[in-house]
Amino acid sequence: MNTLLDTTQYFIVITIELLVLFIGITAIVEFIMMHISEEKMQKYLSGKGLWRNVIATGFGAITPFCACSTIPVTVGLLNAKVPFGATMSFLISSPLLNPIIIGMLAALVGVKAAILYFVLCFVLAVFFGFFLEKTGFHKYVKNVRVKGGLKMDNSKPTQKLAFKQKVKLSLVAGWTTLKPVLIYLLIGVAIGAGIYGYMPDDFVLKIAGPDNIFAVPVAAIVGIPLYIRAETAIPIAVSLIGKGMGVGTAIALIIGGAGMAIPEMSMLAGIFKIKLVAAIVAVIFITAVISGFVFNIFL
């Protein structure tokens, strides 16, 4: 009975915390996006040298897209003649540096973990975007054209609205964004609560503890084919950490699941040739493994 009460309490507390966090972070991002000019962003993304990769990665970090939602924006960037390397940095960073992921990690794992995760994924997204361009992978882009640009709606004169109206619109956008993913969040918290209450600590420690050197790459491999939304994966990962899973193993699972999935691979195959799709999958895997081992070393 005590275990059931603890499990239920865990579910309620984490659910409330994540709901507030999700709506709040999404509202903040929406408020920021009201003040971003599409023309200026395109100009910055088309800059010179490594700086444009940094800007593209930063743009990806403030866009709350999952892996599949990133694809149409990626096509829009290519159509807008944004350099290939910058576009790849955005494609890599957007799902991994989703503000929701950073916020959840900060709240559930700790601020240090969130900062380390952000820095690792940011640096690797910049590097791999630059690397893919310099190694000639741009030649594997198919001739795909779609309507639309960066997917930033500047048709509404939001900049002229009063501050209170902007805040209201941002909060409404937070709730609107939450509704489609609410079920995934609740499923993740429910599974996490079950793990928290009933899974034996020794079992998790033996299979995926920090001393198991193969746990990180296996977690990355398992995560990539699965379509694990961050809202689902993070509560589960946090519960597994509490049971003895290495933090790095959990991070590898989150990066693999958030950064790539079978639906995204199929969508990428529509705009990229197979060699580039394989390269992007490899980039996500390497990012997950590197980040996992770094987390196990420092945390």
What was the pLDDT predicted at 82?
84
Q: In this structure, what DSSP letter does residue 46 have?
A: T
What was the pLDDT predicted at 22?
74
**Tens-digit pLDDT profile for residues 16-25:** 877 887 788 7
Check the CA dihedral 89-115-171-166 and report its sign.
negative
Q: N- to C-terminal Cα distance for the chain? A: 34
What was the pLDDT predicted at 29?
66
**Tens-digit pLDDT profile for residues 186-201:** 887 787 677 767 766 5
DSSP E strands in the chain: the ranges are: none
Residue with token string 């956008």: 173
Is there a contact between 6 and 197 (Cβ–Cβ < 8 Å)?
yes
HSE (side-chain half, CA atoms, 13 Å) at 18:
33
What was the pLDDT predicted at 121?
95
What was the pLDDT predicted at 151?
45
Q: In this structure, what DSSP letter does residue 260 have?
A: -
Burial track 207-225 (b if 16+ CB lie within 10 A, e otherwise)? ebbbebeebbbebbeebbe
pTM of the model: 0.74
Question: Cα separation of 257 and 248, whole Å?
Answer: 14
| Gyration radius of the chain over CA positions | 19
Q: Which residues contact 22 (CB under 8 A, 6 or more apart)?
A: 100, 103, 174, 177, 178, 181, 185, 231
Question: Cα separation of 82 and 44, whole Å?
Answer: 9
What was the pLDDT predicted at 243?
77
Over the chain (299 residues), the average pLDDT of each successive run of 10 is 77 82 76 70 74 90 68 76 90 87 85 94 96 93 55 52 83 80 77 71 64 84 68 76 83 84 75 92 94 89
Which tokens is 152 given? 């930033």
What was the pLDDT predicted at 152?
46
What was the pLDDT predicted at 226?
62
Is there a contact between 299 and 169 (Cβ–Cβ < 8 Å)?
no
Is there a contact between 271 and 142 (Cβ–Cβ < 8 Å)?
yes
What was the pLDDT predicted at 269?
84
What was the pLDDT predicted at 101?
84
Is there a contact between 57 and 25 (Cβ–Cβ < 8 Å)?
no
What was the pLDDT predicted at 2?
61
Question: Cα separation of 234 and 109, whole Å?
Answer: 9
Is there a contact between 234 and 104 (Cβ–Cβ < 8 Å)?
yes
Looking at the chain, how many residues does it have?
299
- Reported for 77-83, long-range contacts at CB under 8 A and 24+ positions apart, including other chains, are 77/45, 77/150, 78/141, 78/144, 78/271, 79/145, 79/146, 79/148, 79/149, 80/42, 80/149, 80/150, 81/46, 82/42, 82/45, 82/46, 82/56, 83/45, 83/46, 83/52, 83/133
